Structure 1
């Protein structure tokens, strides 16, 4: 591509048309928030859109649903990241979005990206592992193993959570299920799971169910990889001698961390996406470090929200007060299961009326 051609591609311009197939907000490999869409620019012509201003997401979603024609001003026409032979519309925070008053063509539904934008495009687990987080995917997998149901607090309410290991012929992955989907999948059976979302935790790619996730039973998958052996889990009874817990709050839209103000205001603005919201809509999490002693052994462990909140619910503790939870942990004996490799607590059970617990 010549220099003059490249400059021309990157000039600011305006695009008018109907917005379609607006994706959920995603996170790029460079940790930037963005979303994709398609814009109909002529009767039978469609262009990809990449928007790096998440504040425009709701506007484009509403325009797509209402079939309202839009004018996108101060955008760039750049080479497509998926196909360098094509171009796409690049929208950023300097771009303006307004209703287009006149178009020479009527709305025509694009079918090119229906499955891809809705998360219906089938992927192998190996392909999912190479997919950026917060992308929608569909998979066909066998359920290899499942952990016990735990509890997590979302919007001040406890919801059920279950982690299962799924596999196909290319890889195995952890899948997180929520509320009504918990216990719906049976070990040893195969399913097609639509509208899952990718996540990245401790540098490990996982998938999670969403409100739109659907489950379809399919014929048994053969040649599936086996679930990795969980033979590094240590379970002991003992005392917690030191503990430090920290409560975190995050924005439901962009997942960015939000610091609660000291005043009694009802609303708060996310410093990442700049959206204002009621305090009770913030997502709550808690993690920390503890020193666990059993026999003559002492080990430093990390503990995270799902494990802590499950313990709190089981023992009728409020999840809003880290100090009280710390006091409870220091004042009682526990059976603790943790990974010998990562030193993460996987389960913690309060021991009542248990004799002979090592101090």
Structure 2
């Protein structure tokens, strides 16, 4: 915990700018009331503002509607998850708002919530909302990661997307990853921008929706970002496996430590909302020990790798039975596993040799015959 002096310093920041899009009062997953806004601090620089002082909302709304510049004092800057190089602004009851004059930049509304091209997105700054983008997901350049958000392990995947006007990166989270396929085109709604170096990229939000559409064209030149440079293919047999299936609340996204799958309802352990058990999403993680060339390697499952494999094998009935999934992998025989540079399993393929009469089974049968022959020789002697 920071010292009192450091805490006081963190709460004494002052920022000058314009307020946009002040939200209605909301309730957090911890039942705390707050509201949000976009804070413009430069010609094309925007930051998310969260105010835990709902009594000040009227003043925020009035200054926003009147296009007046403000000075916010006694606030806190927080690390921004959607813009690693930027920050979010946190206001409390001790924060103050004052109308000021002489700001060195003009008020400029954030990007329109209408449809935009990739070329238009690339000209935006970070922390801006994008209503709709229609784009093609390129076959190369995907990167899988697992990050902790509010102490919950979440999977994200970065895709390269394009339309005839340009190319950029799109980050999707958890279940959204399973809703897309490379080389197909999608209409994506309710996205947000952030900066990756000097490039503007897109990220999904909890309210993002997507739907497949007819093919979207490409620009004259594509920047090749080959994900295969960061992945490797390993062939071996599964020697051990542990799969963890966590039920997650769709409202507050928190994992449920105790969940009775046969019950018809379940009360979220964080937001306390009673819901139907079927409304809770299942997210998988775990470890697979693969024996390859006489060496054991410990690899980490991603939720998308497990779900895509089960879907391919038409094992939908087993998706909530973790032990059945574990036993399947133990009995699968030889597998080809694609692993990225962080040791995460990207994809799993059962080897064709595992089919009846294939080399693997023939080798096992030959080994059994050899053992029987040795036993017979020992009996003779």
Q: Distance in 2 between matches of 1:345 and 1:308?
A: 9
Deviations for 1:161-191, whole angstroms, at most 9, x for unmatched residues? x9842259997424556788657736xxxx9
CA contact (8 A) 1:143 1:164 kept: yes
Instruction: Tell me if 1:166 matches 2:161.
Output: yes
**Uncovered stretches (5+) of structure 1, i.e. residues with no partner:** 1-6, 10-19, 39-48, 54-71, 95-111, 149-161, 200-204
CA contact (8 A) 1:166 1:174 kept: yes
Kept in 2, the 8 Å contact 1:337–1:347? The answer is yes
Please state which structure has a larger fraction of its residues in helix: 2
Q: Deviations over 1:3-45 (max 9, x none)?
A: xxxx9x9xxxxxxxxxx885999x9xxxx9976369xxxxxxx
Cα RMSD, aligned residues only: 5.5
Larger radius of gyration: 2
1:85 equivalenced with 2:69 (yes/no)? yes
The Cα of 1:220 is off from its aligned counterpart by 4.6
Mapped pair 1:145 → 2:143 = no
How many residue pairs were aligned? Answer: 269
Task: Return the alpha-carbon distance in structure 1 between the equivalents of residues 135 and 203 of structure 2.
Answer: 12
Seen in structure 2, the aligned counterparts of structure 1 residues 206 and 337 have a Cα distance that, compared at 3 Å, is farther
Partner of 1:260, secondary structure, is coil
- The DSSP-based 3-state class of the residue aligned with 1:211 is strand
Q: TM-score, normalised by structure 2?
A: 0.51
Mapped contact 1:289–1:303 kept (Cα < 8 A): yes
Matched-pair contact (CA < 8 Å) for 2:137–2:183: no
2:359 aligns to what SS in structure 1? coil
Alignment of 1:51-200 (within 5 A): 73=55, 75=57, 77=59, 85-86=69-70, 116=112, 122-124=120-122, 131=127, 136=130, 143-145=137-139, 164-166=159-161, 172-174=168-170, 176=172, 182=181, 185=184, 194-196=189-191
Deviation at 1:268, TM superposition (A): 0.8
1:254 aligns with 2:252: yes
**Deviation (angstroms), 1:255:** 1.7
Query: What's the secondary structure of 1:324's corresponding residue?
Result: helix
Contact 1:194 1:214 in 2 (8 A): no
* Distance in 2 separating the partners of 1:76 and 1:279: 39
Q: How many Å separate the matches in 1 of 2:116 and 2:23?
A: 14
Closer, same or farther: CA 91–241 of 1 in aligned 2, 3 Å? closer
Q: SS at the partner of 1:227?
A: coil
**Residues 1:267 and 2:266 are matched in the alignment:** yes
Change (3 A) 1:137 1:92: same
Residue 314 (structure 2) pairs with residue 319 (structure 1): no
Structure 2: distance between partners of 1:320 and 1:347: 20
Counterpart pick for 1:355 among 341, 355, 359: 359
Flag the 1:36–1:138 CA change in 2: closer, same or farther, 3 A.
Answer: farther
Alpha-carbon distance in 1 for matches of 2:320, 2:268: 21
Separation (CA, whole Å) in 2 of partners of 1:170 and 1:184? 16
Deviation at 1:303, TM superposition (A): 0.6
Q: Note the alpha carbon deviations across 1:89-140, whole angstroms, 9 max, x for none.
A: x99999xxxxxxxxxxxxxxxxx86954568694229x68x549xx656568
Q: 1:216 to 1:312 in 2, by over 3 A?
A: closer
Deviations 1:326-350 (A, max 9, x none): 1111122242323352111111123
Q: Distance between the aligned counterparts of 1:137 and 1:294, measured in 2?
A: 48
* Conserved? CA contact 1:145–1:166, under 8 Å: no
Q: What SS does structure 2 have at the residue aligned with 1:231? A: helix
Shift of 1:288: 0.5
